[in-house]
């Protein structure tokens, strides 16, 4: 008998900006134990994002609770469906729930065995890395686990 594999964890990071600033989003799905604390995963992704920015001469992103709400809702959907995809309603959701004063939105999605591995994969991918290191000012992170 093969051991059971852990269900994926979906983590979504959304960066939303005000006025003439920018918004970006990132979604990740992670395989991890069901008992793990998603709030801890969210905090770790936020920390790793800002560490990556600092290591590359970029300023830290402020945490945005409203953007995290958008991120968390999409993470729940990714975990529920076990289907990795971009949020087709992202712009409308950011407009309605975060701010209408943004100038750009990007999105990162992926699966990994943990938050640290996902961040490493993002930084190894030019497009994802560009989103992480872009000219943004706020970030929201949401996490959900598959059942």
Is residue 34 predicted with pLDDT exceeding 60? no
Confidence of residue 133 (pLDDT cuts 50, 70, 90): very high
pTM, whole model, 2 decimals? Answer: 0.78
Alpha-carbon distance values, 21 to 48, 88, 94 (Å): 22, 22, 14
State the chain's mean pLDDT as an integer.
Answer: 75
How do the domains of the chain map onto residue ranges? 8-145
Q: Which fold has domain 8-145?
A: Pathogenesis-related Protein p14a (3.40.33)
Q: Residue 145: which of 114, 118, 119, 120 has the closest Cα? A: 114
pLDDT 10s digits, 2-26: 333 444 455 554 443 333 233 444 4
Token digits for 56? 């590359």
pLDDT 10s digits, 81-102: 888 888 899 889 988 998 888 7
């Amino acid at each position: 008998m093969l051991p059971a594999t852990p269900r994926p964890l979906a983590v979504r990071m959304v960066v939303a900006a005000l006025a003439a600033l920018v918004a970006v989003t990132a979604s990740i799905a992670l395989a991890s134990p069901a008992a793990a604390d998603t709030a801890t995963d969210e905090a770790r992704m936020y920390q790793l994002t800002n560490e990556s920015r600092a290591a590359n001469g970029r300023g830290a992103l402020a945490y945005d609770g409203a953007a995290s709400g958008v991120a968390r809702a999409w993470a729940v959907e990714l975990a529920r469906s076990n289907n990795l995809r971009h949020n087709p309603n992202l712009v409308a959701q950011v407009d309605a729930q975060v701010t209408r004063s943004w100038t750009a939105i990007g999105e990162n999605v992926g699966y990994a065995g943990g938050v640290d591995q996902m961040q490493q994969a993002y930084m190894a991918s030019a497009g994802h890395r560009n989103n992480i290191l872009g000219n943004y000012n706020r970030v929201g992170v949401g996490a959900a686990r598959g059942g």
